[in-house]
Amino acid sequence: DAKTTQPPSMDCAEGRAANLPCNHSTISGNEYVYWYRQIHSQGPQYIIHGLKNNETNEMASLIITEDRKSSTLILPHATLRDTAVYYCIVRGWRTGNQFYFGTGTSLTVIP
Amino acid sequence: SQTIHQWPATLVQPVGSPLSLECTVEGTSNPNLYWYRQAAGRGLQLLFYSVGIGQISSEVPQNLSASRPQDRQFILSSKKLLLSDSGFYLCAWTPRILNTGELFFGEGSRLTVL
C-alpha cells in the first residue's frame, strides 16, 4: 500500500473550516483514500473515502487532486468534539489489502 | 445490526505472565478480523488479520500470537509478556461481502505490563 504523509499537528478555531492535508504521491490506480479519526482512548472512527471524485457526507468533504497524489479532508464547521487524531490511509480495494495507519494529524479545535 | 466487543477493557499484568484478549463480532458472518496495537503516543500498528477460521496472517514478528477458533471470535495471546507489550489493543472487522472498505473497531483493551 502507498505511504501517506500528514502534518503531525494542526489547530483550528471553533466554527471555522478545518482543512487537513494528506500526500500520497505513490498511490496506484486501484487504491482508495480513506480518512479515519481517533478520539483519545477510543477506537478509530470511519469518516469518508474516495477514489478520484470529490466526496461529501454528513461528517466531512474529501477533495482529491486530479493527479490523485494528494487529498484534503474538510470539516466545514469544526466543533470542540472534532478534536482528535485524523488518519489518512491509502488502500487497495481487494479483500487482501490491509489498513495501515500512520501517525496521523492531531487536530485541536480552539474555542 | 453488527456489533463488536472486546475484553477485558483494562489489564495490568507482570512481565513474564500470559495474556489473552478476546474479541467477538455479532450480526454478521465470515468477517475479516484484525488486531491492532497502539503504543503510547504512537500510531496504530497492524498485528494480525484473519480471513477465516484458523487462517491467521502475522504482520509483525513478536511474542504475540492470534487464533480464530470460531467464525466471529478472534483471540490475541502471549505466553510471556514483555514491558514493550504495553499499549492499547484494538480489534476490528470488515464485511467479507459488500465490503465498502470501512473498518469497524471495538472499544479497545488497555494493557499495562509492569
Tens of pLDDT, residue by residue over A33-86, are 999 999 988 899 999 999 998 999 999 999 999 999 999 999 999 999 999 999
Model confidence at A5, pLDDT cuts 50, 70, 90, reads: very high
Chain A hits for B110, Cβ within 8 Å: 41
Name the residue of chain B whose CA is nearest to A88's CA: B43
Q: How confident is the model at residue B14 (pLDDT cuts 50, 70, 90)?
A: very high
Mutate to test the interface with B, among A99, A103, A106 (most CBs of B within 10 A): A99
Query: Does position B106 have pLDDT exceeding 90, yes or no?
Result: yes
Q: Please identify which residue in the block is written with the cell numbers 499499549.
A: B87
Here the cell at position B64 is 504475540
Give me the pLDDT at residue A53, please.
Answer: 87
